[in-house]
């Protein structure tokens, strides 16, 4: 059994025991008991330790089968984790790594945060996405990914757009030539290419790192190149929109496979993405979250009726065709 197989869709904790002792064993046992007793919402709990096999057998017997032990006898993995979490600082004898239902790390808690279990649960609950339970009869085959960028990243991108932008165009092909021209009948929006290498490298590095695992798991699509990103704004006072279209019909866009639309702000009305081939539902990721969809799907950005909607846009290409010298390889 491996961790990825045992993590079954609940948020959880990995209790990392860097220096086994009676004190760490007592803390781990208390957290394990609280989890088994149902003192908090569903939470997976794993223990990572460098104890010997014989010690682990006794430890496992005390904890029970509900708390799996991840044995790292050389200490290589847990030392690496401690170095990442506590870079340049003292390494505690016990700490917890909290993750969400999609195994994304939320943060860490140490034994000094007493009671440790309460601090762990608080960290998980603060990052929990609570949606109503209901049956879904039909939806577009899209992937919604929260927390791609931080609030600070989003604010920096919005400031970049405000510093300069132009009326956006649409891709086309005429008389054997590729075109990008303005067409307000189809699209009304102001854009700027993210050409600042420092800002682009920072935000797209974070986006690419997250996309690699999500695209591999959801679409078995791992080797891709990210098109140079655009920061765009749909403004209510201009009644901005992007009418129904596909993203891969011109020669210069034919290598596009997936699109990423990443919202940068809240506080506007309208502006939802709609995929009419699959119903009239509107899709609106939270600020910092994105939606990935096939470039072959018909979609539209509804008019913004109040405020401004800022969005970061890029496309995932097959690697055999590099569409632009700025293209960013997505590396794991």
pLDDT in tens, 219-235: 999 889 999 999 999 99
Contacts of 305 (CB under 8 A, 6+ apart): 236, 269, 270, 271
Q: What's the half-sphere exposure (Cβ side, CA atoms, 13 Å) at 138?
A: 7
| Paired strand residues for 263 | 311
Q: Do 3-126 and 143-329 share a fold?
A: no
Q: What would the pLDDT profile of 234-266 be if each residue is shown by its tens digit?
A: 999 999 999 999 998 888 888 899 999 999 999
> What are the φ/ψ torsions at residue 45 (nearest 5 degrees)?
-130, 125
Say if residue 161's pLDDT is above 90: yes
- Rounded CA separation 104/37 (Å): 25
Most confident of 47-56, 80-89, 90-99, 269-278: 269-278
For the chain, percent of residues with pLDDT exceeding 90: 48
- Rounded CA separation 201/206 (Å): 8
Q: Pull the structure tokens for residue 242.
A: 């992007």
Say if residue 176's pLDDT is above 60: no
Domain segments of the chain: what residues? 3-126, 143-329
Q: Prior bond to 293 cis, omega within 30?
A: no
Please report where in the chains the tokens 């044995």 appear, as a residue: 71
- pLDDT at position 67 is 87
Q: What would the pLDDT profile of 321-330 be if each residue is shown by its tens digit?
A: 555 544 556 5
Q: What's the half-sphere exposure (Cβ side, CA atoms, 13 Å) at 332?
A: 8
Q: How confident is the model at residue 110 (pLDDT cuts 50, 70, 90)?
A: confident
- pLDDT at position 180 is 66
Q: Report the pLDDT averaged over residues 31-45.
A: 74
pTM beyond 0.85, yes or no:
no
Q: Picking from 66-75, 164-173, 323-332, which range would have the lowest pLDDT averaged per residue?
A: 323-332
- Rounded CA separation 233/311 (Å): 6
Q: When comparing pLDDT for 40 and 28, which is higher?
A: 28
Contacts of 71 (CB under 8 A, 6+ apart): 49, 51, 53, 56
Q: When comparing pLDDT for 268 and 119, which is higher?
A: 268
Fold of 3-126: Glutaredoxin (3.40.30)
- pLDDT at position 179 is 62
- pLDDT at position 265 is 98
Under CATH, which number does the domain 143-329 receive? Answer: 2.60.120.620
Q: Report the pLDDT averaged over residues 175-201.
A: 82
For the chain, percent of residues with pLDDT exceeding 70: 90
Say if residue 114's pLDDT is above 80: no
Q: What would the pLDDT profile of 86-106 be if each residue is shown by its tens digit?
A: 887 788 899 999 998 888 888
């Amino acid at each position: 059994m491996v961790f990825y197989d045992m993590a079954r869709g609940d948020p959880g904790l990995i209790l990392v025991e860097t220096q086994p002792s009676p004190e760490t064993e007592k803390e781990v046992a208390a957290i394990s008991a609280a989890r088994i007793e149902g003192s908090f919402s569903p939470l997976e709990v794993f223990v990572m330790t460098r104890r010997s096999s014989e010690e682990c057998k006794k430890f496992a017997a005390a904890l029970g089968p509900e708390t799996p032990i991840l044995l790292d006898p050389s200490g290589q993995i847990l030392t690496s984790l401690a170095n990442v979490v506590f870079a340049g600082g003292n390494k505690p004898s016990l700490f917890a790594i909290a993750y969400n239902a999609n195994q994304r790390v939320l943060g860490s808690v140490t034994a000094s945060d007493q009671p440790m279990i309460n601090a762990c649960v608080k960290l998980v609950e603060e990052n929990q996405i609570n949606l109503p339970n209901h049956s879904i009869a039909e939806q577009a085959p899209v992937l919604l990914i929260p927390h791609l960028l931080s609030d600070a990243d989003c604010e920096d991108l919005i400031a970049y757009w405000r510093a300069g932008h132009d009326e956006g165009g649409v891709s086309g092909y005429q008389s054997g030539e590729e075109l990008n021209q303005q067409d307000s009948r189809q699209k009304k929006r102001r854009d700027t290419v993210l050409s600042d290498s420092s800002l682009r490298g920072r935000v797209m590095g974070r986006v690419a790192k997250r996309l690699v695992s999500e695209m591999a798991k959801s679409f078995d699509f791992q080797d891709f190149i990210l098109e140079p990103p655009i920061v765009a704004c749909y403004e209510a006072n201009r009644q901005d929109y992007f009418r129904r279209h596909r993203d891969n019909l011109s020669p210069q866009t034919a290598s596009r496979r997936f699109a990423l639309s990443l919202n940068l702000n809240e506080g506007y009305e309208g502006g939802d993405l709609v995929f009419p081939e699959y119903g009239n539902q509107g899709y609106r990721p939270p600020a910092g979250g994105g939606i990935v969809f096939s470039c072959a799907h018909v979609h539209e950005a509804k008019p913004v009726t109040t405020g401004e909607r800022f969005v970061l846009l890029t496309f995932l290409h097959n690697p055999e065709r590099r569409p632009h010298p700025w293209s960013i390889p997505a590396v794991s």
